[in-house]
Amino acid sequence: MFFRILLLISCIQFIDAKDNSSDILFLKIQQLEDEIASLRSELESQAYLIDQLSNSNEDVTENNESSNQFTQIDDKIKIDGIYDQAIQSLNKQDYADAKEKFNFIYKNFSNSEKIPLSLFWIAEISLSETNIKEAEKNLMLLIRLYPNHWRTPLAHKKVGDIFLAQGNKKLAREKYNYVVNSFPDDNAASLALQLLENME
């Protein structure tokens, strides 16, 4: 298209130089104007299509965002319901059912306050069942994945308890000191300090 316009302009210049015939010049100018009008029409058409595609993409994005919001709300209702059921089972001392539900929460959901709490309760149930290995695994998961969670200081202290129960006083002392120094305002620090005093 642009090549044709350049060609027409060249023709006009050539005609102007060689032939002063106003009729031919007028004809060529009209052809040039037609070409420009056609090009303008094409550009407007393409701009319209681009605009339509852009609006279509925005609608898809908005629909996806809306869908994600509903999914998150739906997930929150589900996770809260399952967590409440797990706590009820825990209160009834139905530890197997409680652990199953807490494990389900950890494995099937994400970005929820209930996940670190579920890890903590799995560890507590494991400790009550004297399943030390499983308890330590879940406490360490909580510590690693949720270092700033409000249950994390107590998780550190309970790892110290496991070390102490295993007869490893050196590691227990190190862990208790870590809790006291890292979380001085947490209740876990008071418990750890008391245990340190008892170990002396």
Q: What is the CATH number of domain 113-199?
A: 1.25.40.10
Q: Which one has a higher pLDDT value, 119 or 35?
A: 119
Instruction: Cite the beta strand spans of 42-127 per DSSP E.
Output: none
Flag whether the pTM goes above 0.75: no
In angstroms, how far is the first alpha carbon of the chain from the final one?
A: 92
Domain ranges of the chain: 2-63, 113-199
State how far the alpha carbon of 94 is from the alpha carbons of 23, 87, 108, 188, in Å.
Answer: 102, 10, 22, 27
**What is the tens place of the pLDDT at every residue in 137-189?**
999 999 999 999 999 999 999 999 999 999 999 999 999 999 999 999 999 99
pLDDT greater than 70 at residue 106: yes
Whose tokens are 């929820």? That residue is 112
